[in-house]
Amino acid sequence: MRRVTRAVWRADGVSNGERAVPEETPVALTYNGTTHAVMMASPVDIEAFALGFSLSEGIISTPADILSLDVIAVEDGIEARMWIAEEKMAVLGARRRYLAGPTGCGLCGVESLAEAIKPAAQVTSRPVFAATTLLEAMALLGPAQALNHETRAVHAAGYFEPGRGLLAVAEDVGRHNALDKLVGKVARLDAEPAKGLLLLTSRVSIEMVQKAAVLGVPVIAAVSAPTSLAIRTADKAGITLAAVVRSDGFDLFTHPERIDLGASPRQAHVA
């Protein structure tokens, strides 16, 4: 973040002061010396971003597929320089997908409509979560958003496992970037995504569901609402989608069998 000067207008007058705002930096993701994507992102957790992006995009299958990863500050931004096996690079080159991603861009550079709406990976795990667990998990995410506390201008994604708590949080000016960073962080944890929850502070679009499916989480819990295409994609992928999660409840859109609705938060409090 950076602190900048500002003038503040209110009904009772004008004052001067400072405000914390998030940095936004071009981040080039390169493979074997070739730039594949340039995304505008918060310049933090870049290694996790590079790993998570590579997994989400299907460029690699496991973290071990990246032979080396260096984060280099350059004059115009940051480069995440990765080297992958030649067979992986050959597949990547054949896709001819070069991206220039503005903030919040999740499908920039996709060359066909079919590629944009390709089916998400199937999630088959069937854990059951108490409804109140979603509320408790989301309540933990807010205090963990250090950058957002300072700026009130970034998105967050979190990973929660019952019995273990909130294991990872990622923040970024772009919601897709935040989720990619989280995917990268979780990939390096002793975690079991098939038993966990994905927490989002943003709206849920198709790309977010596709990334969640790559992560392998059976449940998405989001503060904001989903798009209709996200709902259809989650349904087909076997993912439980809960949105508009607040302290007093949430909306459940797909695969409700994973959520034990039981007593409402208000009923549980009264009891």
What's the pLDDT tens digit per position in 16-53? 999 999 999 999 999 999 999 999 999 999 999 999 99
In this prediction the pTM is 0.91
To the query of whether residue 105 is one of the catalytic residues in this protein, the response is yes
Classify 33 in phi/psi space as left (phi over 0), alpha (psi -120 to 50) or beta.
Answer: left
Three-state SS for 203-250 is CECHHHHHHHHHHCCCEEEECCCECHHHHHHHHHHCCEEEEEEECCEE
**Cβ–Cβ < 8 Å for 238, 219:** no
Lowest-confidence range among 100-104, 142-146, 151-155, 188-192?
100-104
The model's pLDDT over 180-213, given as tens digits with 9 standing for 90+, comes to 999 999 999 999 999 999 999 999 999 999 999 9
Asked if the model's pLDDT at residue 265 lies above 60, the reply is no
Structural domains in the chain plus CATH codes: 25-116 (3.10.20.10), 129-270 (3.40.140.10)
Which residue among 28, 105, 110, 117 is the active-site one?
A: 105
Residues 6+ apart with CB under 8 A from 176: 104, 105, 106, 207, 208, 211
Confidence label for 104 from pLDDT (cuts 50, 70 and 90): low
